[in-house]
Amino acid sequence: MSLFQWGYVERQKGELRVDSSAEAALTEAVKNGVEVILCLDKGNWHYAPTPNSPDRTKDLMETYSNNPGTPHGWQTMLLEHPPQLEGFLNYVRFMVRHFKDRVRYFEIWNEWGPYSYEGASRYVQLLKEAIPVIRSEYPQAKIIPASPGWLQSVPDWNQHGFSFFRALADAGLLSQVDALGFHPFYDPSHQDSYLLSFVDDFRRFKKFVEQQGFKGNEYFASEWDFFTAYPHSDLRGYVEREKHSEMQKAIYSSRLSIIFAYLGIVNLWNETFQTMQTMRGLSLFRNTFSNEMICPTQPEVFYYMARTLSTILADARGTDLPVTLKEVRSGVGSGPGSSRVVEHYGFVRNGGEKLIAFWLPGYTDENGRDHAYLTVDLDVEGVSSEGASIVDVLNGVEKPLKADRMSRGTVIRKLKVRSWPLIVRLHG
C-alpha cells in the first residue's frame, strides 16, 4: 500500500518515476538511521493482455482489489503473460538502480500465495528471474523472497508451515538470498498452539534453512499484530475472535516482542499507520474515523511499551542464562499450593550487562489485578553483579534492586512477577 509499487512508479507506459513526496519521506528516514526494506510488488495494467487505465481516485485505497479477476491475480499474469514479467523486471531494475544509495534490502513481492509448496514452486519462476537483475545493478544488495503468512510446523509438508521455504530450498534458491521474512501472527488467541510453540518451531525452521544452504542469518517477522477494536466487530471472521482490550493487546504484544528479540528476529509491527480498519484495530494508534479533513490520532499503550523495549533491547542479544525463579510460598498473591510457571528469557548487552525478562504467561485481564502476581526469588548462577535494577515495561519506569552476591552467583529476593514483562538488569 505505498507509492513505491510498480503501478504507481510506472503510471505512463515506459515512464518510470518515483513520487517525489514518497521519495523524500524515504530519504529522511534513511538520514535518521532507519534501515528500509523496499518491497517490489504488484502488477501493472499497461502490460495486461487488455491494457487498462485504473481509476486514480480509487487505486490508492484498492491496491489489493485492483487486480485481474483470475485466480491469484497479478501472480498468474506475471507467470503466463511474458510482457507483464518483462515489465516487472524493468521496474525491479529501475528501483534498485534508483535507491541503491539508500536501500540495502529488496523484497521480491509480498505474500505470494498460497503459502504452500505448490504456491512457492510457482513463485520460484519469478525469484529466479529477479535475483540476477538485482545482482547486476547492486551486488551488495540484501535480497528477501516474498514473506509467506505462516511459519507453523505441521506434519504435512505440502501445507503451510515450512513448505513455502522447502520449495525455495529444492530449487536451490535459499543459498542465493540474504534474509528471510514471514508474517507469523495476526491477532492470535493467547491459547493459540502455534503461539505457544513458536520458540521451538522457529528453532526447527532456522536449523532446516541453514541445512538447505541459507547463510544469511537474518530473519524478519515482517508483519504481525494483535487487534483491539472499540466496539468489537460483529462481522464474520471477527465476531468469533478472542476479544482484546487495549491493555491486553499491549501486554501480549510486548511479550511476543521480547521473544522475537531473544530469537534474533527483527520485529516489524503491522500496521503502524492504519487507524481506519475499525473492525480490526491493528495500529499502534487508536482507531479513528474519516469524518474530518484531518483525523487526530493518539498512541495506544503498546506504542509506549514498544518504545521502552526498543531502548533497553537495542544492543541486546538473546542468550540462555542459568536462571531459577523460585516461588516464595508466603508471598502475597501466591495462594496455597500455587505452582504457576514463570516464562523468562535472557539477554546480554554489548558491554556485558545481563538482562532477564520475565512474566506470568497465559491470560491477562484488563487491569492486571493484584491477585495476578507471584512473589519469587531470582537466582542467576555464576553471574556476579555490581548492582541491579528493574524496568517495568508497562509503566516505563526503572528502580534499583538489592542484589545479594552469593558464592553461586547473584540472588534477588521477593520480586513480584506480573502478567506484563518486567526486565531485571544485572550491572557490570
Residue written as grid cell 528477501 = 144
pLDDT-based confidence at residue 54 (cuts at 50, 70, 90)? low
Domain locations along the chain: 6-312, 317-426
C-alpha torsion sign, points 162, 165, 170, 174: negative
- DSSP for residue 15: B
Query: Amino acid identity of 40?
Result: L
Mean pLDDT of 275-295: 79
Residue 349: per-residue pLDDT: 95
Is residue 18 a contact partner of residue 9, using CB atoms and an 8 Å limit?
yes
Architecture of domain 6-312: Alpha-Beta Barrel (3.20)
Q: Compute the distance between CA of residue 230 and CA of residue 281 in angstroms, rounded to an integer.
A: 8
C-alpha cell recorded at residue 296: 487526530
Mean pLDDT of 382-398: 92
Q: Compute the distance between CA of residue 354 and CA of residue 385 in angstroms, rounded to an integer.
A: 9
H helix or E strand, kind and range, residue 37: strand 37-40
Q: Compute the distance between CA of residue 223 and CA of residue 110 in angstroms, rounded to an integer.
A: 10
pLDDT-based confidence at residue 173 (cuts at 50, 70, 90)? very high
pTM for this prediction:
0.92
- Is the pLDDT at 335 greater than 60? The verdict is no
Most confident of 20-34, 322-336, 395-409: 20-34
Helical spans, DSSP H, in 231-364? 246-263, 301-312
In a 3-state reduction of DSSP, which class is residue 278?
Answer: coil
Mean pLDDT of 64-78: 85
Q: Is 297 exposed, middle or buried (0-12, 13-18, 19+ CB in 10 A)?
A: middle
pLDDT, tens only, 363-378: 887 655 545 789 999 9
Q: Is 93 exposed, middle or buried (0-12, 13-18, 19+ CB in 10 A)?
A: middle
Q: What is the helix, strand, coil percentage profile of the chain, to 5?
A: 30, 20, 50
Mean pLDDT of 23-39: 97
Looking at domain 317-426, its CATH class is mainly beta
Query: Amino acid identity of 302?
Result: F
Q: Compute the distance between CA of residue 309 and CA of residue 423 in angstroms, rounded to an integer.
A: 10
Candidate from 18-27, 132-141, 398-407 with smallest mean pLDDT: 398-407
Residue 248: per-residue pLDDT: 93
H helix or E strand, kind and range, residue 25: helix 20-31
Mean pLDDT of 150-178: 78
* Cα angle 184-189-193, degrees, rounded to a multiple of 5: 70
Residue 211: per-residue pLDDT: 93
pLDDT, tens only, 119-155: 999 999 999 999 999 999 999 999 999 999 876 555 4
